[in-house]
Amino acid sequence: MNRKQRRAEEKTGKAAARPSGLLEETLFRQAMAHHQAGRLRDAEANYRDVLAANPRHTGALSYLGLLAHQAGHSDAAIDLLRKAIASDKRNPEPHYNLARILSDCGRDDDAIMHNRKALEIDPDFPGAHNNLGALLLLHGRPAEAFAAAIAGLRTDDAAGLKSTFVMALRSLDPAAIKLDPNVIQLLVRALREPWCRPRDLAAAAGTILLRTPAMARCVERASQAGRVPLNEMFSPADLAALGSDGLLEALLSASPVTTVAVERALTAVRRAALNDIATGALESDEAWLPLVAALGQQGFINEYVVDVTEDETAQLGRLRDDVAEAIARNEPVAPIKVAILASYLPLHSLAGADKLAAQSWPGAMAALVAQQIVDHRQELAIRPAIERLTAIEDDVSEKVRAQYEENPYPRWSRVFAETQALPIDAYIGMRFPGAPYKPLGDRAPDVLVAGCGTGQHAIQRAQQLKSAKVLAIDLSLSSLSYAIRKTKELGLTNLHYAQADILALDGDKTFDVIDSSGVLHHLKEPLTGWRRLAGLLRPGGLMHIGLYSSTARRDINTARAYLAQQGRGFSVPEVRRLRAEFAARAPGDELHNITQFSDFFSMSECRDLLFHVQEHQFSIPQIADFLGESGFTFLGFEAPARTGYLRRFPGDRTATNLANWAAFEAENPSTFAQMYQFWIQKN
């Protein structure tokens, strides 16, 4: 309505028929209710009624703009949102809604600007930090994304903010991580709840811990080992500080420590504690117990990978015998003695371990005894009932199975719990915006996790994908027992485990999604195994694949050649010694570079890293060739690799150009230090 028409109405009295302010708001609420219920035509009609009465109604302009965008009229939507902004310059919501539309239209720089505008008006506006952080991360700006996530998490507990916090932290240069109480508090939460796989945060936690005064002093004192008596190495104040450090406790109980300096300091602390107990110098448990109990949990998680001296071995043997005798005589055992034993060997290996489990233990000791005795007994009970889907007849498969039977691989204590299961189309669309994905539609996907290990991947898929029915298979009964126990703890009922060899699977059952991460490269013929799995995939089905990179593993190949030349073996003592040797080399040395791999920090994974009985490595061109030959479309690599790539190739918004990816990896050889992790779709 123009000014002339409005004056004419006023003269004729028609203006009195316009809705009052109260009626406008009633119509607007009705429009919102229709909109939320999906009755879009009714919503549009009500929004237009409101605007007929008040052309500057901010809410109606804003939500009519969103409706227009939903209908595919993005230019009209942007125009309506700009009018909404002009109608109320102190309202953050139109800026926020405009940012969402601009992002959908590929105008991310403008979207970032309007998210920032919304936050200038209201620093705690719901959703704006979340969207801003995600956009900044997408465009290779992790420091800004990290700041947005921290600001948002002050008042908002959104899963997206937690995800941005984790991915940004993993993408940051360690030097950029400050000793900030807010960051530490969030990192402790991220490890304990957890917000991701705790190991993904271990490096950042180690970086921060090295900057705390107590840990810095302990690192310095540990460097003097051999020159300072064990009973003089660490002050009671520093031990108490470490024992009460929430970040250290959260890390030790959730993930292997993956920082050499922190590992070295904690190894020296353990040695000093054992010495004080063995020599009777320990006057009270109070200074040592919280820290040693946490070290016990860490030892079990990393499978006792750190080196042990001859003196420690002798002291440990005597202490073990003393404790076993006390248990046999039904005498009480000091918690500190049990805790220090647990930091060197699994408590379930002690004679009389069941008696220890039956006792009542305080605090951290209860968790330690459950971890090392109760859980182990449950896994032994589970093992005989595991279903066998196929025989294991291939000679390489049998060797791999034997390697993983010694220890469940990998051990983990906490798994990231998805807050909301998504339909498969929404799940892929959210992770790979703009990728050439053909929707599967509204179905309950059948999922195969081929090579599930101890169940982390399988559990995540069962939680992530709405209505999914998951079958998880592995060669190792030890790993499967661990996975089943963890799955029962979580109460998941849509996940079934069985022992099977990928090479022996037949085509009787097919799947919508097949996940095989870290498995195919251990087969005698990886491409044969990949084709076998592809044959079990339905048309249009999805695969998530994880393969080792030949570029990223050059230092590993150098180390393997060195170990072969030296005739080194992979017994527990030998692995411990070679780890100490590699860690002691100068930074930049090819063998010291192995310490940059997180697999270096647990026994099974270190053996896997340096001594695996069967391993193949791949390049991006090889992957591209296989996808072309086998009829697959590449959808994208998993984060955090995408962050750096998009900074280098901003024109490839979908991040699907494999030639660009090959160039990026050549420039950044450690990009896929863990693995190539990617999704593909069957044509």
- Express each pLDDT in 508-554 by its tens digit: 899 999 999 999 998 889 999 999 999 999 999 999 999 999 999 99
Are residues 331 and 468 both part of a single domain? no
- Check pLDDT > 50 for residue 2: no
Q: Rounded to the nearest 5°, which phi and psi values hold at 130?
A: -60, -55
Question: Do 95 and 110 fall within a single domain?
Answer: yes
Which structural domain, as residue segments, surrounds residue 446? 395-551+617-682
The torsion region of residue 673 among left (phi > 0), alpha (psi -120 to 50) and beta comes to: alpha
Lowest mean pLDDT among 14-28, 353-367, 387-401, 629-643: 14-28
Tokens 């009389």, residue located: 352
Bond before 621 cis per omega within 30 degrees: no
pLDDT at 96 over 90: yes
Q: Provide the 8-state DSSP code for 638.
A: P
Task: Select from 125, 151, 176 the last residue of a domain.
Answer: 125
**Among candidates 563, 546, 382, 564, which has minimal Cα distance to 477?**
382
pLDDT confidence band for 419 (50 / 70 / 90): low
Percent of the chain at pLDDT exceeding 90: 70
DSSP state of 228: B
β 387-388/469-474 pair status: unpaired
- Evaluate whether 513 touches 543 at the Cβ level (below 8 Å): yes
pLDDT of residue 681: 98
Instruction: Look at residue 23 in the predicted model and tell me its pLDDT.
Output: 78
Instruction: Please indicate, yes or no, if residue 455 is contained in any of the structural domains.
Output: yes
Within this chain, do residues 606 and 669 fall inside the same structural domain, yes or no? no
Rounded-to-integer distance, Cα 316 and Cα 592, Å: 30
What does the DSSP 8-state code read for residue 372? I
Q: What DSSP string runs through 445-514? A: -EEEEES-TTSHHHHHHHHHBTT-EEEEEES-HHHHHHHHHHHHHHT--SEEEEE--GGG--SSS-EEEE
Q: Domain of 99: which CATH number?
A: 1.25.40.10
The CA distance from 173 to 69, in Å, is 38
Give every CB contact of residue 132 below 8 A, 6+ residues apart in sequence.
99, 112, 115, 116, 119, 145, 148
Q: pLDDT by residue (tens digit) across 215-252?
A: 999 999 998 877 677 778 888 888 889 999 999 999 99
- pLDDT confidence bin for 4, thresholds 50/70/90: very low
Identify the pLDDT of residue 173.
85
Banded model confidence at residue 338, pLDDT cuts 50, 70, 90: very high
Domain closes at, from 80, 106, 125? 125
Per residue in 97-143, pLDDT (tens digit) is: 999 999 988 899 999 999 999 999 999 999 999 999 999 988 889 99
- The residue with tokens 């070290």 is 295
pLDDT, residue 284, reads 62
**Alpha carbon distances (Å) from 85 to 25, 58, 125:** 19, 7, 15
pLDDT band at 16 (very low <50, low <70, confident <90, very high): very low
Q: Tell me the percentage of the chain whose pLDDT exceeds 70.
A: 95
Name the band, by pLDDT with cuts 50, 70 and 90, for residue 46: very high
Give the pLDDT of residue 7.
42
In a domain, residue 132? The reply is no
Q: Taking 60 as the threshold, does the pLDDT of residue 6 lie above it?
A: no
What is the C-alpha to C-alpha distance for residues 218 and 216, in angstroms, rounded to an integer? 5
CA 476 from chain centre, in angstroms, equals 23
Residues 6 or more apart whose Cβ sits within 8 Å of residue 462: 447, 468, 470, 487, 492, 494, 495
pLDDT of residue 524: 86
Mean pLDDT on 640-663: 88
Secondary structure element (H or E) that encloses residue 538, with its range:
strand 537-547
What does pLDDT average to over the chain?
90
The mean per-residue pLDDT over the stretch 281-298 comes to 83
Handedness of CA 548, 554, 558, 559 (dihedral sign): negative
Quick: pLDDT tens for 580-629. Answer: 999 999 998 989 999 999 999 999 889 888 987 778 999 999 999 999 99
Count other Cβ atoms within 10 Å, centred on residue 677: 17
Same domain for 489 and 354, yes or no, is no
176 falls within a domain: no
My answer on whether 545 and 566 are in the same domain is no
The total number of structural domains that make up the chain: 4
Q: Is residue 194 part of a domain?
A: no
Q: How far is residue 111's CA from residue 313's CA, in Å, rounded to a whole number?
A: 61
Check whether residue 487 and residue 629 sit in a common domain: yes
Residue 390 located in a structural domain? no
The three-point CA angle 456-457-458 to 5° equals: 95
Residue where a domain stops, chosen among 588, 611, 634: 611
Residue 10, pLDDT score: 40
Instruction: Report how far Cα 162 is from the mean position of its chain's Cα atoms.
Output: 11
The residue-averaged pLDDT of 431-440 equals 91
Please indicate, yes or no, whether residues 410 and 370 belong to a single structural domain of this protein: no
370 in the same domain as 274: yes
Residue 362's pLDDT is 85
Region 51-71 average pLDDT: 91
Which amino acid is present at 641? A
Which CATH number goes with the domain that contains 459?
Answer: 3.40.50.150
Q: Return the number of other C-beta atoms located less than 10 Å from residue 461's C-beta.
A: 24
Verify that 377 and 424 share a domain, yes or no. no
Predicted confidence at residue 85, as pLDDT, reads: 96
Say if CB 316 and CB 256 are below 8 A apart. Answer: no
Same domain, yes or no, for 601 and 482?
no
Residue 155 has pLDDT above 50, yes or no: yes
- Poorest-confidence range of 40-54, 62-76, 279-293, 626-640? 279-293
3-state helix, strand, coil in the chain (%, to 5): 60, 10, 30
Q: Would the pLDDT of 5 be above 50?
A: no
Residues 648 and 596 in one domain: no
Q: In this structure, is residue 171 part of a structural domain?
A: no
**Is there a domain that residue 211 lies in?**
yes
pLDDT at 11: 40
Provide the 8-state DSSP code for 539: E
How confident is the model at residue 1, as a pLDDT? 41
| 593 or 175, greater pLDDT | 593
2 φ, ψ (degrees, to nearest 5): -90, 175
- Look at residue 142 and tell me if it is in a domain: no
Per-residue pLDDT at 20 exceeds 80: no
In the predicted structure, residue 88 carries a pLDDT above the cut 90: yes
Q: What is the pTM of this model?
A: 0.86
**Average pLDDT over every residue of 631-652:** 87
Same-domain check for residues 241 and 320:
yes
Mean per-residue pLDDT for 352-363? 92
**Placement of tokens 């002798």 in the chain:** 314
